[in-house]
Chain A
Amino acid sequence: MISECEIENLELVYKKPKTLTETPMHYCPGCGHGVINKVLMEVIDELNIQDKVVGAAPVGCSVFEYRYMDIDMIESPHGRASAVATGVKRVNPDLYVFSYQGDGDLAAIGTSETIHTVNRGENILMLFINNAIYGMTGGQMAPTTLIGQKTSTSPYGRTVKNSGFPINMTELISKLDGAYFVTRQAVHKPNGVRKLKKAIQKSFEHQKENKGTCFIEVISNCPAGWGMTPIKSNEWLEENLIKMYPLGDIKVPK
């Protein structure tokens, strides 16, 4: 009797967001980029701003994300997504604008653009996906790579003597006056995905009120670049990466 009732009274509780296209994603199995794209589109669906949002896509693994997101997107030069987003926002102040960058893009090549965009307090949302490696080009060492982490350009592990310390971009940015909301989240667990969604929602609300730059760092895995299975990579992320980059809100509005 119970099974009959169950089949009759099922209701839909979760489905793929409408703004995510049917194109199959090119990301490696288990990559965090897919989750972040999905959460971003869920928020856009819920706020019903599909025709009022513009994204600046980066160079990196997420270079083709305009194929998956059914919104207006601009492809930016390497590291310059925040500068492109600034231009869009200044010309069309009523639009919601976000930039989406990886750690090689935002923390290495585009360091000056990132710091000055936040320092000017542009009303955009900056998403920073940190997986401690250059994923697309073959797993080379990035500025965010941990000490001792093996990559294809540091096969014996990163050393302080040769390459210095890992850069903590989010803490650096939180010290600037233009930053309004700075937070760090991870997507390796369902609860983390829920928290990321709330953070993106808040950021779009702040953007509507012209409060300043919202900066969200998302700790993500790179199974192919780290040379692990997706499950192992998430375990490694929790044991090592989150110790170096602790999760939580770093700067919250007073």
Chain B
Amino acid sequence: MIRGTINIDTEICKGCELCIIACPQKSIGLSNNINSHGYKYVELILDNCTGCINCALVCPDSGITVYRQSKNSLKKNKYLVAKL
């Protein structure tokens, strides 16, 4: 499985929760903390992100940056597993 992670700009986030609905892995949730503008912000709650960029596409405030495991590293992983 390709794995990824996201980086959320918590100061920009307005807590609209659209990314929570858009995430197919349900790995984003609303935090109990609030930022300096008084909004609850979202955070990554599960470690099953695949880097599909759905959350970043629907984010109205462009606060999400997405990183994904490179394809080359996957090949390397498979090679290592096969070797083991």
Is there contact, CB below 8 Å, between B53 and A14? yes
> With A6-B3, A190-B54 given, is the CB distance from A32 to B65 under 8 Å?
no
Q: Which size bracket describes the interface of A in this complex?
A: 35 or more
Main secondary structure of the interface of B (DSSP, over half): mixed
Q: How far is the CA of A88 from the CA of B70 in the complex (A)?
A: 44
> With A189-B22, A190-B54 given, is the CB distance from A32 to B3 under 8 Å?
no
Main secondary structure of the interface of A (DSSP, over half): mixed
> With A5-B73, A35-B58 given, is the CB distance from A15 to B18 under 8 Å?
no
Is there contact, CB below 8 Å, between A230 and B18? yes
Q: How far is the CA of A44 from the CA of B24 in the complex (A)?
A: 29
Is there contact, CB below 8 Å, between B17 and A190? no
Is there contact, CB below 8 Å, between A10 and B57? no
A195 CB, nearest partner CB in chain B, Å: 11
Q: How far is the CA of A189 from the CA of B66 in the complex (A)?
A: 18
Q: Could you tell me how many residues of chain B have their Cβ less than 8 Å away from some Cβ of chain A? A: 36
Query: Please, what's the 1-or-0 string for A31-54, where 1 marks a CB less than 8 Å from any CB in chain B?
Result: 111110010000000000000000
Nearest A residue to B55 by beta-carbon distance? A190
> With A34-B60, A35-B58, A189-B22 given, is the CB distance from A15 to B65 under 8 Å?
yes
> Which listed residue, B4, B15, B80, touches A10 by the CB 8 Å rule?
B4
> Which listed residue, A1, A5, A30, A189, touches B16 by the CB 8 Å rule?
A30
| Cβ–Cβ < 8 Å partners of B3 in chain A | 2, 6
Q: A234: CB under 8 A from chain B?
A: yes
Nearest B residue to A9 by beta-carbon distance? B73
A184 CB, nearest partner CB in chain B, Å: 19
Q: How far is the CA of A13 from the CA of B7 in the complex (A)?
A: 12
Q: How far is the CA of A32 from the CA of B77 in the complex (A)?
A: 40
Stretch in A21-29, A76-84, A144-152 with 4+ CB within 8 Å of B:
A21-29
Residues of B within 8 A of A (CB): 3-5, 12, 14-18, 21-22, 37, 39, 51, 53-54, 56-70, 72-73, 76-77, 80
Pairs A–B under 8 Å by Cβ, sample size 22: A5-B73, A9-B73, A10-B4, A10-B68, A10-B70, A11-B67, A12-B67, A14-B56, A14-B64, A20-B62, A24-B61, A28-B14, A29-B15, A29-B39, A34-B60, A35-B60, A188-B58, A189-B58, A190-B53, A193-B57, A223-B16, A231-B18
Other than A10-B68, A13-B67, A29-B39, give 19 A-B pairs with Cβ distance below 8 A: A2-B77, A5-B69, A9-B69, A9-B72, A9-B73, A10-B5, A13-B53, A13-B66, A14-B57, A16-B63, A16-B65, A24-B61, A29-B16, A30-B17, A35-B58, A190-B54, A229-B17, A230-B18, A231-B18
